[in-house]
A = this chain, B = another copy of it.
């Protein structure tokens, strides 16, 4: 999952905006790639305790500018970060409204195509040009449903 082509791609993207691919940035990218789900700043502090908070935020901002990382808003008040879809692949999120857990899910191509087509016309009817979409499925994960099987 965390392979060389990922790092090559990230480095290239950073170079395009005149930035180096330093150890700190590499650490953040590896962490995001390994996690495989949108991580909060708390997760980062836990997974990379030696990385100062100010540096973590700065790396995330830089990587966002380079189009490598995107910010995701969950169900709670704080933001989470994940690798951009151009780096991984287009996906949506399953959000547990009880524990806040977020899981990535990849939709079928057919569904995406139908949705894109529909959304473009919906947007156009309101004077919008649609570039992208963001779809979150809200529900309860298996762990949170376990104690009450009849939810």
Chain A interface residues toward B at CB < 8 A: 73-75, 77, 79, 94, 96-97, 103, 105, 107, 111, 114-115, 118-119, 122-123, 126-142, 145, 151
Contact = CB atoms under 8 A, between A and B. Distances in A.
A105 B126 contact: yes
Contacts of A127: 141-142
A93 B7 CA distance: 35
Given A94-B122, A134-B136, 7 more contacts: A128-B141, A128-B142, A130-B138, A130-B139, A131-B140, A133-B136, A135-B135
A137 B141 contact: no
Contact of A107 (B79, B105, B122, B135): B122
